[in-house]
Structure 1
Amino acid sequence: MLLPPAYLFVRSFEDGVGNVLEVALEGRTLAVLLRSVVLAAAVTAATVLVAVPLAWLTARTDLPGRDAWTVLAALPLVIPSYVGGFVFVSMLGPRGILQGHLERLFGIQELPSIYGFPGAFLALTLFTYPYVFLTVRAALRGMDPALEEAARSLGSSGWETFFRVTLPQLRPAAAAGALLVALYVLSDFGAVSLLQYDSFTRAIYIQYRAAFDRTPAAIMGLMLIMLTLAILYVEARTRGRARYHRSTAGAVRPAPTVRLGGWKWPALAYCGTIVALALIMPVGVLGFWLARGLAHGEPLRLVWDAALNSVYVSSLAALATALAALPVAILAVRFPGAISGAIERLTYVGFALPGIVLALSLVFFGSNYAPWLYQGLAMLIFAYAVHFLPQAIGSTRAALLQASPRVEEAARSLGRSPLKTMATVTAPLARSGILAGMALVFLTTMKELPATLLLSPTGFDTLATRIWTATSEAFFARAAAPALLLIAVSAIPMYLLTIRDRMKL
């Protein structure tokens, strides 16, 4: 995890401290930093407001088709930001598909511009809320309902119980998801670039591509790391040292299903609206471009070889990242302190950095110090683990907070070693969080682009690289088929995860 910041530190201070201060305190740099912070804060707040009700409806209520809604609500996570940005421009732009239909029907000549903050805010909110949705839903599924039942037996209403008992227990999971959203927004390039919002990541990318001297880009990368550390500090201060497991003996059992009654229709409308904007509209626009390409003679390319490569490397990355995340999460939850806190926070640095910065740091390391790993599959998996480790740690940590350490202590007192206790007691207790983390890593690895482009073995194409190749050359019809295939392939593990969770396997 120290490789990316070490690379940035070396590049930044090549010309001395004075040059670093000059670039960092420049008015344009500070303005870009402020815009990035505003966008990250707005998107993070919006995703929590969207995802928490959605998670509760699909985990605790008798919502019709809630397993299907779970899969559909998580799928926007697999839509690459550069595809999502193109979809919004193509659909909602001043001269987009929607405006064309409105002009024919009502004579509307032009829609309000979606470029800038409104478009970036809307796109990133719709494509990142699954981070909060999956972690909160996993916490709801693993939560012991005893406290809620005690509150109801003492006369609290359903709403009072939710806000005073359930919601506080969800704070670690919501904070873990919100932290991922904030860092993702800071590192995103595709959506902000296509929607023309000047964020920190876009400035770093332009500096890397347009300037021969990459030192200013490295300095801005260091500033992004400092911003990440500030966000982690605020998150740690708000997290506190509260306990979220029960202190008495007893077995965790499923919470009773809440009957929606007349609220069923508003709940369905809410879920339908979110899924329509975040999934159906992008899929519809991709389908439009696919049909348009086929009508003009474009051959149908489903690129099954790239799909198999994507599934293979994403599965390896999910497994490796989950294994790496479990001991870090255990250390942070069971042995809180300065060292464990520093180790946990360090893992978030790689996630906050733009993919191109992370990839270039590993290219520097591989070409100079580990040539036997350079452009090999092991280096690619390593890059994914560095980039997406916080996704697995956040959900695993939230699940461990709800598991009483007394069970682990009992296993140790009966003679089991720490490693056996972790494998046979701790990991099963945190199962829901581990699976949610693996799902997050799998889905985001499927769409990862910069690391794949720079670090993958020669000839190793994935669906993300095929989509990027087509969209970068403005062949949108050619990109539609692999983009739709990416969404379809990613739906399978999400569906299996939902069924496994429901059946308690």
Structure 2
Amino acid sequence: MRRLVTAARGRSRVPYLWVTIVAAFVSLISLVPLGFIAWITVQTGWETASKLIFRGRVGELLINTALLELCTIPLTIVLSVALAWLTERTDLPGARLWAWLAVAPLAVPAFVHSYAWISLFPGLHGLTGGVLVSVLAYFPFLYLPVAAQLRRLDPAIEDAAASLGLNPWQVFFRAVLPQLRLAICGGSLLVGLHLLAEYGLYVMIRFDTFSTAIVDQFQSAFNGPAANMLAGVLVSCCLLLLAIEALLRGGERYARVGSGAARPAARLLLGRMLVPALALNIATVALAIGVPFVTLTRWLYIGGAEIWRIDLVGSAFGQTLVLAVAGGVLATIAAAPMAWLSVRAPGRLQRIFEACHYYVGSLPGVVVALALVTITVRLVLPLYQTFATLFLAYIMLFLPRAMVGLRTSIAQAPVELERAAMALGRTPFQAVRQTTMRLAAPGVAASTALVALGITNELTATLMLSPTGVETLATKFWSLTSEIDYVAAAPYAVMMVLLSLPLTFLLYAQSRRATGQ
């Protein structure tokens, strides 16, 4: 038996090499935008570049971005953990319904959230508006992994803590919360990257960030060097965010062999806290779902049947659906090698590869798009404005979304199962496919759905890279809102929501299926 285990461990080194090569190739592709920025910097010259970087405008954007991150992420963590705890571990009436409603805001694109709030409250601008809409638009990215992790926790851990005399609050903070660290760090990183890259939301709220400044430089002033210097600072912000997440995540192991306690965790009786708990859920749903619903209903009522151009809306819907599904599958496949390596073989080299996968998610789509435009025009002209280039942009932009779900699922699949499968004669790739990837299948589906959601709502890269004649729901919506034609834009916003709802439900269903519920 010892010989079999030793042989299995030796054979397990084989997939590491090939998976590392594939992950390195994806990382190299991800570095294309960074190489583009570096190339522009060299062409610009250090003297001009330093003047563009070390100026008051950059300092103002840094302060705005830092305030946005520091205000939004903690609020999102508190809200998401509170909602997850109430829906998964308490006797909250209608817990399943509230859990679904906590995920539903993902079906509303971030710039549609801001469109809804600005329509009802035209004076909502600046940091306050940006933080409010950002929390409401992005908290489901944290709620989903935290709720899933709560369902997977062994209740014996809490029983042991309670047997030591800890009250329910102490049990939560000392026994449960540390077990949620991986989910909180992963979700927070995803939210933080979205805050760095988001464009449409902050343009409508009139809050300047690096993304809005970069797009403004490219589209209004046509100042490529200035925009690329801003993009370089934005990449630095992303790397700092990655370093903080890696430090907080640590290297602890979260998987276990065996099913743990056979019973589900006991639900805490809310008692006098029932009314505040219900109020929190009602307020969150009203602000995150109710406001967009009221706004869209109002504009649809004003526009009447005349605004429903079936030929135009239907064509945009079909093209968006095809791009979202295909892009989601491709991005998940591209992210899988790195997600597996980050769990099975963490190290300095893997951390570098992982950073390459993540940093590109902080870039606005316009930077990635311009890098690809420059390369295709100068080197491979036949690929200019083709689906191949567009899908490459989608893969780079949404690698972080695919990584988070995959990494969390793989982390909870014990490596001992792979070794046992190889000891029984499976090849390394068969062992990974038949054990780890089967256990991680819900995370794979969730990652694909997350990417598809992002593509459904993607704006700038699609505008610049899509082949002639391709118009998605997002690009049509944006062109109409840019003309202040909110009434005509309403059908496209509604169709984006309708297209996103099944994907959102899939995320919710897979999250529950992953824990056998």
Question: Is contact 1:142-1:402 (8 Å) kept?
Answer: no
Give the one of 262, 267, 272 matched to 1:258.
Answer: 267
Listed one character per residue, the Cα deviations across residues 115-148 of structure 1 (whole Å, up to 9, x for unaligned) are 1111111111111111111222232334343423
Give yes or no for the alignment of 1:391 onto 2:401.
yes
Give the one of 54, 68, 71 matched to 1:42.
Answer: 71
Give the one of 187, 199, 203 matched to 2:213.
Answer: 203
Give the whole-Å Cα distance in 1 for the aligned partners of 2:400 and 2:374: 23
Q: Which residue of 1 aligns with 2:143?
A: 133
Give the whole-Å Cα distance in 1 for the aligned partners of 2:380 and 2:95: 48
Please, what TM-score do these two structures have when normalized by structure 2? 0.88
Please, what TM-score do these two structures have when normalized by structure 1? 0.90
Moved more, 362-371 or 279-288: 362-371
Q: Which residue of 1 aligns with 2:450?
A: 440
Give yes or no for the alignment of 1:301 onto 2:309.
yes
Moved more, 166-175 or 50-59: 50-59
SS at match of 1:460: coil
Alignment of structure 1 residues 475-490 onto 2, 5 Å? 475-490=485-500
- Indicate how the Cα distance of structure 1 residues 434 and 167 shifts in structure 2: closer, same or farther if over 3 A, else same: farther
Give yes or no for the alignment of 1:405 onto 2:434.
no
Give the whole-Å Cα distance in 1 for the aligned partners of 2:325 and 2:155: 33
Q: Which residue of 1 aligns with 2:60?
A: 31
Q: Which amino acid aligns with 1:298?
A: E
Q: If each structure's helix is expressed as a fraction of its own residues, which one has the higher value?
A: 2
| CA apart distance, 1:58 | 3.2
Question: Is contact 1:60-1:255 (8 Å) kept?
Answer: no
Give the whole-Å Cα distance in 1 for the aligned partners of 2:344 and 2:409: 12
Give the one of 244, 247, 267 matched to 1:237.
Answer: 247
- Report percent identity of matched pairs: 36
| CA apart distance, 1:257 | 5.1
Give yes or no for the alignment of 1:84 onto 2:113.
yes
SS at match of 2:142: helix
Question: Is contact 2:456-2:473 (8 Å) kept?
Answer: yes
Give the one of 288, 296, 299 matched to 1:289.
Answer: 299
| CA apart distance, 1:448 | 0.6
Give the one of 197, 218, 231 matched to 1:221.
Answer: 231
Q: Which residue of 2 aligns with 1:100?
A: none
Moved more, 147-156 or 131-140: 147-156
Give the whole-Å Cα distance in 1 for the aligned partners of 2:91 and 2:336: 33
| CA apart distance, 1:159 | 2.6
Moved more, 406-415 or 433-442: 433-442
Q: Which residue of 1 aligns with 2:45?
A: 16
Give the whole-Å Cα distance in 2 for the aligned partners of 1:253 and 1:450: 49
- Indicate how the Cα distance of structure 1 residues 502 and 172 shifts in structure 2: closer, same or farther if over 3 A, else same: closer
| CA apart distance, 1:409 | 1.7
Alignment of structure 1 residues 325-404 onto 2, 5 Å? 325-404=335-414
| CA apart distance, 1:267 | 2.7
SS at match of 2:438: helix
Question: Is contact 2:148-2:512 (8 Å) kept?
Answer: no
Q: Which amino acid aligns with 2:145?
A: T
Give the whole-Å Cα distance in 1 for the aligned partners of 2:504 and 2:39: 41
Listed one character per residue, the Cα deviations across residues 86-107 of structure 1 (whole Å, up to 9, x for unaligned) are 222221234xxxxxxxxxxxxx
Q: Which residue of 1 aligns with 2:428?
A: 418
Give the whole-Å Cα distance in 1 for the aligned partners of 2:406 and 2:250: 17
Question: Is contact 1:229-1:345 (8 Å) kept?
Answer: yes
Give the one of 160, 165, 169 matched to 1:159.
Answer: 169
Question: Is contact 1:75-1:487 (8 Å) kept?
Answer: no
Question: Is contact 2:106-2:504 (8 Å) kept?
Answer: no
Question: Is contact 1:289-1:477 (8 Å) kept?
Answer: yes
SS at match of 1:258: coil
| CA apart distance, 1:252 | 7.7
| CA apart distance, 1:268 | 2.7
Give the whole-Å Cα distance in 1 for the aligned partners of 2:327 and 2:92: 33
SS at match of 1:171: helix
Give the whole-Å Cα distance in 2 for the aligned partners of 1:146 and 1:414: 32
SS at match of 2:307: coil
* RMSD, aligned α-carbons: 2.2
Q: Which amino acid aligns with 2:82?
A: P
Moved more, 417-426 or 353-362: 417-426
- Indicate how the Cα distance of structure 1 residues 502 and 80 shifts in structure 2: closer, same or farther if over 3 A, else same: closer
SS at match of 2:36: helix
Question: Is contact 1:173-1:395 (8 Å) kept?
Answer: no
| CA apart distance, 1:415 | 2.0
Listed one character per residue, the Cα deviations across residues 12-32 of structure 1 (whole Å, up to 9, x for unaligned) are 221211222121111221121
- Indicate how the Cα distance of structure 1 residues 396 and 353 shifts in structure 2: closer, same or farther if over 3 A, else same: same
Give the one of 469, 479, 484 matched to 1:474.
Answer: 484
Q: Which residue of 1 aligns with 2:439?
A: 429
Give the whole-Å Cα distance in 1 for the aligned partners of 2:306 and 2:367: 35
Q: Which residue of 1 aligns with 2:126?
A: 116
Q: Which residue of 1 aligns with 2:201?
A: 191
> Matched residue pairs, number?
483
- Indicate how the Cα distance of structure 1 residues 500 and 19 shifts in structure 2: closer, same or farther if over 3 A, else same: closer
Listed one character per residue, the Cα deviations across residues 165-209 of structure 1 (whole Å, up to 9, x for unaligned) are 221111111111111111111111212222221211121122112
SS at match of 2:306: coil
Give the whole-Å Cα distance in 2 for the aligned partners of 1:2 and 1:208: 21
Unaligned runs of 5+ in 1: 95-113
SS at match of 1:170: helix
Segments of 4+ moved more than 6 angstroms = none
Give the whole-Å Cα distance in 2 for the aligned partners of 1:119 and 1:161: 36
Unaligned runs of 5+ in 2: 1-29
Give the whole-Å Cα distance in 2 for the aligned partners of 1:462 and 1:253: 48
- Indicate how the Cα distance of structure 1 residues 196 and 141 shifts in structure 2: closer, same or farther if over 3 A, else same: same
Give the whole-Å Cα distance in 1 for the aligned partners of 2:340 and 2:437: 10
| CA apart distance, 1:3 | 0.8
Q: Which amino acid aligns with 1:358?
A: V
